[in-house]
Chain A
Amino acid sequence: DAGITQSPRYKITETGRQVTLMCHQTWSHSYMFWYRQDLGHGLRLIYYSAAADITDKGEVPDGYVVSRSKTENFPLTLESATRSQTSVYFCASRNRGPNSPLHFGNGTRLTVT
């Protein structure tokens, strides 16, 4: 089915471990984004990508790494997970053009113990 999918839906990891959250979209959207959702903060932008091999930092990039070797994939890696990174992570995509709305994946709930 067309759309944007995230995996896994739920993940529990330990402090210090590396974990990668996957995001795949089938619309060939140019832009892709990673947000984290925390109580009291709404959604905050971690990283975004305007096209393959082009990425840029958002509001809260520290502790995260992204890559975009293919247009359809935008994985987010926590190199050494910390408890403060316990959150719900949303991937989103949109087409080129500032009036295009964001389309979100279903989210990944990550717990760091």
Chain B
Amino acid sequence: AQKVTQAQTEISVVEKEDVTLDCVYETRDTTYYLFWYKQPPSGELVFLIRRNSFDEQNEISGRYSWNFQKSTSSFNFTITASQVVDSAVYFCALSPIIQGAQKLVFGQGTRLTINP
């Protein structure tokens, strides 16, 4: 069975601080995808990144970076120099590559609040 755990229910930081959102997953599949989605206060879900289990390179996109460590089954998300617009609920998700996104499993989400 697959499971995604986002142990941090809520995080609150002051603007310009760096913040890391944790994601730990469980799967018996040898190949899989990991995702992060953002849900701003307006409610829509926005795709941020997809990572496949073959590629453990970290990725950086502007102020966002993702650290994938297969050895610890983690896919953490760091926001550098946070801004108020980063306030949102962030979801980590997992799906096997073979069976595809119909088996996409989401974590419970982390509510991030950036205070001015």
Name B residues whose Cβ lies closer than 8 Å to a Cβ of A: 4, 6, 33, 35, 37, 42-47, 50, 52, 91, 95-102, 104, 106-109
Contacts and interface: CB of A to CB of B under 8 A. Distances in A.
A74 to B, nearest CB: 13
Interface of A: 31, 33, 35, 40-45, 48, 50, 56, 58, 88, 90, 92, 94, 97-107
Given A45-B104, A102-B104, A88 B43 contact: yes
A42 B97 contact: no
15 contacts: A33-B101, A42-B106, A42-B109, A43-B91, A56-B102, A90-B45, A98-B33, A98-B100, A99-B97, A100-B101, A101-B47, A102-B35, A102-B101, A104-B46, A106-B44
Contacts of B47: 101-103
B35 A98 contact: no
Contacts of B100: 31, 97-98
A88 to B, nearest CB: 7
Given A33-B101, A33-B104, A44-B106, 17 more contacts: A31-B100, A40-B108, A42-B6, A42-B106, A43-B45, A45-B104, A48-B102, A98-B96, A99-B97, A101-B50, A102-B37, A102-B104, A103-B47, A104-B37, A105-B44, A106-B43, A107-B44
